[in-house]
Structure 1
């Protein structure tokens, strides 16, 4: 604010008496003036093609060069005209158009279009299509450009990266690919239908080096582990998922049991197998070598459950054993079943078991108490805990599945629908995009309608507990069924095996099944369609397991096969 302006304000209002006060006001106004400075990209005064800020940007060098090349070519065609009068007429028309305001320009263009013939209109259309193409990604602020690229799918993003160097720089940005990984890894994208495996710990995003491993005495400024780009993380998982879909894999065999394999569990680094030969074998997945063999049971090991701290096994000798898998020592033995133990599951200090004595037992390790759940009229072939809802599911030779409340030790619901012995149950929490079969009849073996059976009527579930939404089961009736836990209704039946299904395993994308027909099948969990059938076993497949990039099967001849879809 100038001194004359301050004097003028003093005369009008009488509030500023001297130049010092005017200077103070001027100093106070300067920060506000800086805040009101016009932005760099001024689209009000200039259009995109004539904005000097955009044309001067480093990313626009190629576009400016192309524009200049077109002008040179146009000038050359003008110079090739036959007479000087024609050349001057063209140049004068262009100068007149260039000096006119927006309103006059539109009137001129409208008049020329009205006078143009179809060949000329076609020529105008072709030229306009070339000129109105805008490199909006390079023109927009980087944050906005990255936001736009974040809406693209993988294929479109890779195509965008091939446009130019600037687009490649933005399309390869870690922010974009982090969003892509977040949308696809361990879940199915609702837009493209693709989901990528998690690959726990096998492909950690951190690349560890000897230099990066700092000791306790080193400072916080010591070099840390290098982090891989999210695009690399996405690419390797995309490759594994593509191999799952195309059926590209390599087989690794584990031979060490003297009799049939009854149970197995697959972890990130280890494979554990239980056999009729009364032993448990622990294998290293990386080398394929036998790490340790656990002996102690006096009959076949029908069930096993492994976590980072302990290994629990159930045997045909009617006992349950807890092992230290590192040393191979048996920590404790649980006796209580009157017949073979066919299934075990655990969570922290809780163990559940199913037996051929038709009961389910709940073992509380800390309190040293055991509760017996009765209700099945046949062998209990499988038990599965769902700790978050304090429930347990059991499948039996009586062709039913029961849902138990382990807080009250009562049966909550009975699922009817199988016409053969139920061999495996898996509780799942799934979305609403599952494909259901409305024609799938849920008729109990006695022929009564499901609505007349109180066991599958709506139960007063505790809304505060996160119950599983669905239940997956397999049976010796050759089928795999998907159930709605809340209603108790069977919503889908999957046919494909020609003999009984002994075991199933599932993750967020797939179901793997092993059957008495000596085959394994991989199913799409969302649609229920069979993706691949794997034959080659010389005996019925008794057990299966699934990982992010592989699945494993064990047969009654003692052969264990691992199908690895990570072929890199």
Structure 2
């Protein structure tokens, strides 16, 4: 390692490999915004050239100037854990944890941190999803018809107003931030719902947090190496670890229900319906059927499998790998239907997009721009509906005999999104195998990705989180705050969360009045 003493800031060392600029330092918000704007002015060819140079210099190689490489986080941590794997697991933290910090900042006042260790307040929306029948009263309020108690619920106008506030706050980047600290090492995976947050770490533990109180309510211990993936529902939690096992937990009691094994460390898990899929460092994918208790393997990748996503409806699976490819698998025949090539770095994430997803291609934007210049009104060109009969017929032929020979079989999701260590996101047409759009903005590899119909959220090795507009592909805002790589992200309609190698999870909430929020993200 190069000494920091008398370090020449104008040396030949590449910026990413300079210890003084790399070690545990948060990203500079204003610089990231300028980089984003500059990237968006470049042609597609120039962007691709930059991506290729980044990958050639930093992925799988060492810098010739400083002889220091950028190893993948998992391999780096795996070496560390192999050294210490004979030691006992770290003891559980005491019941009284440091309180979660809530940060509220505006343009006129300094940052203020407040403890959130207080009694939970009633959730006024709790339980509404289970009500079978509601009706609107004469005063515009909604009543529970089945209860017979005439209980008052929120008027629809109030709900609409709140949703409008959330949308406006997203657009302007106004949010409050809660920081969850408690892991003894970097956070690698997370998932949250209304008031529950689950986090996994290289410290070999899974923590279940009460979001409102900011407290750990359960710590799951049993893995002997770092946790790399998790997913929970109201019944159970599934976790994958570098110790080569997948564990199924009753997360409410902390009990381990079952353990499944790989020959190598488990990098990813995904459960849907009766199926559980896992991807491993041993280059294989395992599928386990909860109903039949049977399992089988899919083989074809030539390097680590970083992400798997089941689509039980179409009986297919998507997988992303360090071999720089994404594959679609047929679960019936257990064969690979298609391989998607285009990334020049290891692919870390793959997510199927909703069926109603549409995007504006380059042609539509050019037409729209020219029509604006000539003061003519032109309807934007978007992708045709994926449900049209002619479109489905074309897709069946494109997917091959697996679907063309079975006209009743539901088709896979039409579009998917991927994130790679080449620092880009890519949109793919799964039927044609083409990538109609590449998302540029991060200056280092993308580790985390979350999507819905309104936005994409990505976290990267450059310590930033970016929010993207799906239809146009524009980066709307960049968030900083982590003091190391952002390894995982989660997304809901009014919040997103990011976990980092710095051991923290930051939860951004876009609810509330503008005066209560913080304009934190830098517009791009």
Residue 541 (structure 1) aligns with: 486
Given that 2:482 and 2:502 are in contact with CA atoms closer than 8 Å, whether structure 1 keeps it comes out as: no
Given that 1:252 and 1:563 are in contact with CA atoms closer than 8 Å, whether structure 2 keeps it comes out as: yes
Given that 1:206 and 1:228 are in contact with CA atoms closer than 8 Å, whether structure 2 keeps it comes out as: no
Secondary structure at 2:342 match in 1: coil
Residue 467 (structure 2) aligns with: 522
Matches within 5 A, 1:120-199: none
Structure number with the bigger relative contact order (C-alpha 8 A, sep ≥ 6) is: 2
1: CA distance, partners of 2:411 / 2:124: 30
Q: Would you say 1:418 and 2:359 are equivalent positions?
A: no
Q: What's the CA shift for 1:206?
A: 5.3
| 2:436 aligned residue (488, 491, 496) | 491
Given that 1:437 and 1:493 are in contact with CA atoms closer than 8 Å, whether structure 2 keeps it comes out as: no
| 1:283 aligned residue (206, 209, 215) | 209
Q: TM-score, normalised by structure 2?
A: 0.62
Given that 1:202 and 1:268 are in contact with CA atoms closer than 8 Å, whether structure 2 keeps it comes out as: no
Residue 495 (structure 2) aligns with: 550
Residue 84 (structure 2) aligns with: none
Q: Would you say 1:247 and 2:173 are equivalent positions?
A: yes
Q: What's the CA shift for 1:429?
A: 2.5
Residue 407 (structure 1) aligns with: 332
Deviations, residues 35-87 of structure 1 (Å, cap 9, x unaligned): xxxxxxxxxxxxxxxxxxxxxxxxxxxxxxxxxxxxxxxxxxxxxxxxxxxxx
Matches within 5 A, 1:231-246: 231-246=157-172
1: CA distance, partners of 2:199 / 2:219: 10
Residue 149 (structure 2) aligns with: 223
Secondary structure at 1:249 match in 2: strand
Given that 1:260 and 1:559 are in contact with CA atoms closer than 8 Å, whether structure 2 keeps it comes out as: yes
Residue 366 (structure 1) aligns with: 291
Deviations, residues 291-312 of structure 1 (Å, cap 9, x unaligned): 1111000000000011111100
Alignment CA distance shift 1:247-1:366 (3 Å):
same
Q: What's the CA shift for 1:286?
A: 1.6
Residue 239 (structure 2) aligns with: 313
Secondary structure at 2:174 match in 1: coil
Given that 1:207 and 1:228 are in contact with CA atoms closer than 8 Å, whether structure 2 keeps it comes out as: no
Given that 1:470 and 1:485 are in contact with CA atoms closer than 8 Å, whether structure 2 keeps it comes out as: yes
Equivalent pairs counted in the alignment come to 343
Residue 377 (structure 1) aligns with: 302
Matches within 5 A, 1:383-398: 383-398=308-323
1: CA distance, partners of 2:485 / 2:473: 23
Residue 470 (structure 1) aligns with: 415
Deviations, residues 233-282 of structure 1 (Å, cap 9, x unaligned): 11100100110010000110000100000111122221100000000000
Which runs of 5 or more structure 1 residues have no equivalent in the other structure? 1-200, 213-218, 440-455
Residue 265 (structure 1) aligns with: 191
Secondary structure at 2:472 match in 1: coil
More displaced, 340-349 or 473-482?
340-349
Matches within 5 A, 1:272-351: 272-335=198-261, 337-351=262-276
Secondary structure at 1:388 match in 2: coil
Alignment CA distance shift 1:239-1:405 (3 Å):
same
Given that 1:205 and 1:228 are in contact with CA atoms closer than 8 Å, whether structure 2 keeps it comes out as: no
Residue 565 (structure 1) aligns with: 510
Residue 482 (structure 1) aligns with: 427
Larger radius of gyration: 1
More displaced, 226-235 or 271-280?
226-235
Deviations, residues 371-424 of structure 1 (Å, cap 9, x unaligned): 110110010000011121111100000000000111221111111110000001
Matches within 5 A, 1:38-49: none
Residue 143 (structure 1) aligns with: none
Q: Would you say 1:459 and 2:384 are equivalent positions?
A: no
1: CA distance, partners of 2:439 / 2:246: 34
Deviations, residues 185-222 of structure 1 (Å, cap 9, x unaligned): xxxxxxxxxxxxxxxx97469599xxx9xxxxxx9673
* More strand as a share of residues: 2
2: CA distance, partners of 1:202 / 1:411: 48
1: CA distance, partners of 2:124 / 2:446: 31
Residue 39 (structure 1) aligns with: none
Given that 2:273 and 2:312 are in contact with CA atoms closer than 8 Å, whether structure 1 keeps it comes out as: no
Which runs of 5 or more structure 2 residues have no equivalent in the other structure? 1-122, 135-144, 365-396, 514-524
Residue 504 (structure 1) aligns with: 449
Q: What's the CA shift for 1:227?
A: 3.3
Q: What's the CA shift for 1:228?
A: 2.4
Q: CA RMSD in A?
A: 2.4
Q: TM-score, normalised by structure 1?
A: 0.58
Given that 1:206 and 1:227 are in contact with CA atoms closer than 8 Å, whether structure 2 keeps it comes out as: no
Q: What's the CA shift for 1:472?
A: 0.6
Matches within 5 A, 1:426-441: 426-431=351-356, 433-437=358-362
